[in-house]
């Protein structure tokens, strides 16, 4: 097959996406936060996400050509595969030397170039909500796009659930088996987020190949109603009643979890991961390294709630609870809570996991109890 007959994909990697997750920075937007992530020894992971995507796309490498960015925005990963590829010839991208010099302007430059490239049928980008915003600003709805989740805060519905499913979507799109659908590009104010306030805005829509079981839903906010708050309190009472003395409890993000500490008159980082012992908070807004240090050789349980509608239990907004942490704690020590409203509105009535370790995620799959009221539990699949 000649290059002219190949299905042409545009590929953009935001190589610094997700670096703030495990170190508890809740994103990497802005030079100051990126520098802080570097000082905390944050490790880039976007390349691994792209590599996983390409590995799952490999059976069709003879039929696909990839147009991508020079260096670590694409070429460094694609060049190690058997895909035919072509780097974008742009001085804005070519002259960027170091991974930490990546800016939104370079993402937009790449997306604009790919939009104008007649052969390119779809732009695949690896990043988070901030990257999706940059793609939206550059291309709007002029060309189909699909996101591979690699960021910290991934609330938009333009992303596949994980890199493998992104490859499955592209394969189906290649054979004209999927329709296009408008998908939301959401993003939050990271500065407000770090201060414990979730301020989310809708920036627009990208056209994506739509497969409802493979693409994630946008995050649904928890209603601030009397019934919801009362339900949270009843769940909190049940959790507190079952606390075990001298056991360490990692408390995940969210208002459902915060109801527990409110009832105990303890401080809680609404959007962080905290540590509780004997009904007292002993660690606020911990990162992965701090969690691993604190729980070493301890009896530990995790109290966690899935993200509204998306259903992600781990891998969205709580990357501090990494695969390393989960291996130490064990699935038998995970306590899942949700209000009735949240549970009934889970997409597909399932919870999801995406720790960035697909083999481990597979091991974690199965049925979990979800406490939805003081005396009521439901069984839900984690997939």
The C-alpha atoms of residue 298 and residue 292 are separated, in whole angstroms, by: 10
Residue 346 has pLDDT above 90, yes or no: yes
Q: Which of 28-42, 167-181, 274-288, 364-378 has the lowest mean pLDDT?
A: 28-42
Grade residue 101 by pLDDT with cuts at 50, 70 and 90.
Answer: low
The torsion angle over the Cα atoms of residues 18, 194, 153 and 372, rounded to 10 degrees, is: 130
Residue 96 has pLDDT above 70, yes or no: no
Average pLDDT of 103-113? 93
Instruction: Based on the fold, state whether residues 244 and 186 are members of the same structural domain.
Output: no
The pLDDT, as a whole number, for residue 11 is 98
The pLDDT, as a whole number, for residue 295 is 97
**Quick check: is 146 in a domain?**
yes
> Which of 175, 209, 243 is the last residue in one of the domains?
209
Question: Average per-residue pLDDT in the chain?
Answer: 90
353 strand-pairing partners:
314
> Which of 209, 243, 272 is the last residue in one of the domains?
209
Overall pTM > 0.75: yes
Instruction: Based on the fold, state whether residues 158 and 272 are members of the same structural domain.
Output: no
Instruction: Based on the fold, state whether residues 352 and 255 are members of the same structural domain.
Output: yes
Instruction: Based on the fold, state whether residues 190 and 303 are members of the same structural domain.
Output: no
**Quick check: is 218 in a domain?**
no
Average pLDDT of 227-236? 97
The C-alpha atoms of residue 36 and residue 124 are separated, in whole angstroms, by: 29
Closest CA to 57 of 166, 211, 161, 146: 166
The pLDDT, as a whole number, for residue 103 is 85
Grade residue 224 by pLDDT with cuts at 50, 70 and 90.
Answer: confident
Joined together, the tokens standing for residue 98 give 């170091």
Instruction: Based on the fold, state whether residues 200 and 307 are members of the same structural domain.
Output: no
Average pLDDT of 96-114? 83
The pLDDT, as a whole number, for residue 228 is 95
Nearest-Å Rg of the Cα atoms of the chain is 21
Closest CA to 348 of 195, 102, 161, 153: 161
Residue of 204 and 34 predicted with greater confidence: 204
CB-CB contact of 303 with 259 (8 Å): no
**Quick check: is 256 in a domain?**
yes
Query: Domain span at residue 232?
Result: 226-382
Exposure pattern of 325-342 as b/e (b: 16+ CB <10 Å)? bbebbeeeebbbbbbbbb
Q: What is the CATH number of the domain that holds 161?
A: 3.40.50.10330
The pLDDT, as a whole number, for residue 21 is 55
Laid out side by side, the sheet with 64-68 consists of 84-87, 64-68, 7-13, 120-127, 145-149
| CA separation, residue 105 to residues 101, 118, 134, 247 (Å) | 11, 22, 8, 48
The model's pLDDT over 300-337, given as tens digits with 9 standing for 90+, comes to: 999 999 999 999 999 998 999 999 999 999 999 999 99
CB-CB contact of 63 with 173 (8 Å): no
Q: Identify the top-confidence range among 97-111, 184-198, 342-356.
A: 342-356
Q: Which residue is listed with tokens 């290059």?
A: 3
Instruction: Based on the fold, state whether residues 297 and 171 are members of the same structural domain.
Output: no
**Quick check: is 253 in a domain?**
yes
Residue 157 has pLDDT above 70, yes or no: yes
The C-alpha atoms of residue 259 and residue 236 are separated, in whole angstroms, by: 6
**Quick check: is 215 in a domain?**
no
Average pLDDT of 220-237? 92
Handedness of CA 309, 313, 314, 319 (dihedral sign): positive
**Quick check: is 313 in a domain?**
yes
CB-CB contact of 156 with 218 (8 Å): yes
**Quick check: is 216 in a domain?**
no
Instruction: Based on the fold, state whether residues 189 and 270 are members of the same structural domain.
Output: no
Instruction: Based on the fold, state whether residues 199 and 235 are members of the same structural domain.
Output: no
Instruction: Based on the fold, state whether residues 203 and 308 are members of the same structural domain.
Output: no
The model's pLDDT over 34-54, given as tens digits with 9 standing for 90+, comes to: 555 455 555 678 999 999 999
> Which of 174, 209, 244 is the last residue in one of the domains?
209
Average pLDDT of 213-226? 89
Residue 143 has pLDDT above 90, yes or no: yes
Instruction: Based on the fold, state whether residues 188 and 260 are members of the same structural domain.
Output: no
Instruction: Based on the fold, state whether residues 121 and 169 are members of the same structural domain.
Output: yes
Residue of 185 and 29 predicted with greater confidence: 185
Instruction: Based on the fold, state whether residues 100 and 151 are members of the same structural domain.
Output: yes
The pLDDT, as a whole number, for residue 216 is 94
Residue 97 has pLDDT above 70, yes or no: no
The C-alpha atoms of residue 26 and residue 21 are separated, in whole angstroms, by: 5
The pLDDT, as a whole number, for residue 317 is 87
**Quick check: is 219 in a domain?**
no
Residue 363 has pLDDT above 90, yes or no: yes
Give the count of domains, the chain: 2
CB-CB contact of 236 with 212 (8 Å): no
């Amino acid at each position: 097959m000649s290059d002219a007959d190949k299905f042409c994909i545009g590929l953009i990697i935001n190589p610094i996406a997700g670096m703030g997750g495990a170190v508890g920075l809740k994103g990497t937007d802005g030079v100051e936060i990126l520098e802080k992530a570097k000082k905390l020894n944050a490790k880039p992971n976007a390349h691994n996400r792209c590599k996983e995507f390409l590995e799952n796309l490999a059976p069709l490498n003879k039929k696909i050509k990839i147009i991508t960015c020079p260096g670590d925005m694409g070429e460094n990963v694609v060049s190690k595969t058997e895909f035919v590829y072509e780097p974008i010839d742009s001085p804005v991208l070519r002259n960027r030397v170091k991974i930490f010099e990546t800016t939104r302007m370079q993402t937009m430059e790449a997306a604009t170039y790919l939009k104008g490239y007649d052969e390119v049928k779809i732009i695949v980008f690896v990043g988070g909500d901030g990257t999706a915003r940059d793609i939206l600003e550059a291309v709007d709805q002029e060309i189909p796009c699909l996101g591979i989740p690699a960021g910290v805060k991934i609330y938009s519905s333009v992303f596949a659930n994980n890199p493998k499913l992104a490859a499955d979507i592209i394969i189906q799109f290649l054979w004209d088996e999927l329709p296009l659908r408008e998908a939301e590009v959401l993003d939050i104010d990271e500065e407000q987020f770090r201060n414990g306030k979730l301020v989310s805005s809708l920036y627009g829509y990208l056209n994506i190949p739509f497969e409802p079981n493979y693409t994630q839903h946008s995050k649904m906010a928890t209603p601030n109603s009397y019934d919801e708050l009362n339900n949270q309190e009843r769940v909190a009472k049940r959790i507190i009643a079952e606390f075990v003395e001298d056991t360490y409890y990692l408390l995940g993000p969210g208002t459902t979890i915060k109801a527990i500490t409110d009832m105990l008159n303890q401080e809680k980082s609404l959007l962080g991961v905290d540590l509780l012992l004997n009904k007292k908070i002993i660690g606020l807004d911990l990162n992965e390294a701090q969690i691993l240090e604190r729980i070493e050789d301890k009896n530990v349980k995790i109290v966690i709630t899935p993200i509204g509608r998306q259903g992600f239990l781990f891998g969205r907004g709580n990357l501090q609870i990494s695969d390393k942490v989960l291996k130490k704690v064990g699935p038998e020590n995970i306590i899942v809570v949700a209000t009735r409203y949240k549970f009934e509105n889970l997409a597909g009535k399932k919870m999801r996991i995406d720790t960035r370790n697909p083999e481990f995620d597979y091991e974690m799959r199965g049925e979990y109890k979800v406490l939805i009221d003081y005396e009521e539990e439901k069984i839900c699949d984690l997939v």
